[in-house]
């Protein structure tokens, strides 16, 4: 039997990539959808990819339509055709443990390269209040006033919260995503129940003053080469805010490139690059902003930084990659090869 030499060489040289999904937050299903997106985006000529789902202590690899337990000693698994190990972990868990540094610490311990920033940066960016406090003095960036509440501590009075932050205001889990547990509070009598809803998602709650203006988001990435910033996306919705329903049920217009002044777009992209470098990020991040003021001279207001952004076919990052004239498989390959 004659075997094509190039095909054989390709098979033996393929890197084994674990696409790590699931997690222990309300974003579990969103993460699984991102894993499906990544599987469709990856360069199959370079990589042999397996989705690995983590949920609590149930860690398993989805291999040949079956599930096999993952050995946490080295993140490997054994199937009827042999023992399987990985060269790289592409993390797409939104929330804990993939976006708060916990999983990154595990991979550091077993010396497995991965796709995101390191432990410290993941922990800081996932903690909304800490991140806002850190970046409040950053030139060219406005950060809204906020208050942090903890589940086991006495709450300030509703009146004192409203006196400081005003109404409407936002109540949100301090560590969370996809707008789970987030409430736009319009009246003081809504405040207590909004705090309870946020505490159901996290032990800490951030209450934040309202920012009004044009909502935009800017993605960027760095793998083995230069830091690349993507075209901005403008977010337009008839919902009270860009909540889960708007994000995942089509109740939003996502306009890429954003309909903003070119000078503003350039300032946002430069600020995004500055924050990426300042924090020491790696891989793909997405920063959400509000623009307010005169077109071309808007104040840039921080909403949040996503270090494990959604990667479904319709997510912001794939949209922005296409608008930049890039191929998503090349972006992912750059991130992988930058750490191998």
Distance CA 229, CA 108 (A): 27
Is 0.75 topped by the overall pTM?
yes
What pLDDT, in 10s, does the model give residues 203-257?
Answer: 999 999 999 999 999 999 999 889 999 999 999 977 565 445 444 455 578 999 9
pLDDT of residue 246: 47
Give the torsion through C-alpha atoms of 91, 92, 97, 103, to 10 deg: 0
Q: 253, 233, 237: which is closest to 309 by C-alpha? A: 233
What pLDDT, in 10s, does the model give residues 116-154?
Answer: 999 999 999 999 999 999 999 999 999 999 999 999 899
pLDDT of residue 68: 98
Residue 17 phi, psi dihedral angles, 5° rounding: -115, 125
Distance CA 167, CA 182 (A): 15
Residues counted in the chain: 340
**Residues 92/283, Cβ–Cβ less than 8 Å:** no
Distance CA 62, CA 338 (A): 26
- In order, the DSSP letters of 2-54 are ---HHHHHHHHHPEEEEEEEE-SSTTHHHHHHHHHHHHHHS-TTTEEEEEEEE
Query: Quick one: DSSP state of residue 28?
Result: H
- In order, the DSSP letters of 78-133 are EETTEEE--SEEEE---STTTSSSHHHHHHHHTT--BSS--HHHHHHHHSHHHHHH
pLDDT of residue 297: 94
Cis bond upstream, residue 168 (ω within 30): yes
pLDDT of residue 202: 87
Expressed in angstroms, the distance from the first to the final Cα of the chain is 34
pLDDT of residue 1: 44
Half-sphere exposure in the Cβ direction for 98 (13 Å, CA): 36
Q: 151, 217, 159: which is closest to 188 by C-alpha? A: 159
pLDDT of residue 225: 86
Per-residue pLDDT of the chain (340 residues; tens, 9 = 90+): 444 555 544 456 899 999 999 999 888 999 999 999 999 999 999 999 999 999 999 999 999 999 999 999 999 999 999 999 999 999 999 999 999 999 999 999 999 999 999 999 999 999 999 999 999 999 999 999 999 999 989 999 999 999 999 999 999 999 865 467 899 999 999 999 999 999 988 899 999 999 999 999 999 999 988 999 999 999 997 756 544 544 445 557 899 999 999 999 999 999 999 999 999 999 999 999 999 999 999 999 999 999 999 999 889 999 999 999 999 999 999 999 999 9
Q: 274, 269, 299, 270: which is closest to 135 by C-alpha? A: 274
Q: 272, 281, 299: which is closest to 217 by C-alpha? A: 272
Query: By three-state DSSP, how is residue 171 classified?
Result: strand
């Amino acid at each position: 039997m004659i075997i094509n030499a190039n095909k054989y060489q390709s098979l033996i040289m393929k890197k084994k990539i674990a696409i790590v999904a699931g997690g222990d937050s309300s974003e579990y299903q969103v993460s699984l959808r991102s894993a499906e997106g990544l599987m469709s985006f990856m360069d199959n000529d370079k990589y042999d990819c397996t989705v690995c789902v983590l949920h609590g202590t149930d860690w398993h690899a989805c291999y040949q339509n079956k599930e096999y337990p993952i050995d946490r000693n080295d993140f490997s698994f054994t199937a009827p055709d042999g023992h399987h190990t990985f060269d790289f972990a592409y993390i797409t868990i939104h929330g804990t443990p993939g976006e708060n540094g916990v999983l990154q610490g595990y991979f550091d311990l077993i010396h497995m390269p991965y796709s995101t920033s390191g432990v410290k940066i993941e922990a800081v960016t996932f903690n909304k209040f800490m991140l806002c406090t850190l970046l409040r003095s950053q030139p060219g960036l406005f950060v809204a006033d906020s208050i942090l509440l903890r589940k086991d501590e006495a709450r300030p009075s509703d009146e004192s919260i409203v006196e400081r932050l005003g109404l409407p205001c936002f109540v949100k889990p301090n560590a969370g995503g996809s707008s789970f547990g987030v409430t736009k509070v319009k009246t003081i009598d809504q405040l207590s129940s909004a705090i309870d809803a946020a505490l159901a998602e996290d032990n800490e709650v951030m209450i934040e003053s309202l920012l009004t203006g044009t909502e935009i988001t800017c993605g960027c990435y760095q793998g083995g080469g230069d830091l690349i910033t993507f075209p901005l996306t403008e977010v337009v919705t008839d919902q009270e805010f860009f909540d889960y329903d708007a994000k995942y049920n089509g109740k939003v217009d996502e306009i890429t490139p954003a309909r903003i002044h070119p000078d503003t777009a350039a300032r946002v992209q430069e600020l995004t690059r500055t924050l990426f470098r300042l924090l020491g990020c790696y891989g793909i991040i997405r920063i959400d902003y509000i623009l307010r003021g005169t077109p071309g001279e808007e104040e840039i207001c921080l909403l949040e930084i996503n270090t494990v952004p959604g990667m479904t076919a319709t997510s912001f990052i794939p949209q922005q990659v296409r608008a930049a004239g890039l191929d998503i498989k090349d972006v992912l390959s750059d991130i992988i090869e930058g750490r191998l």
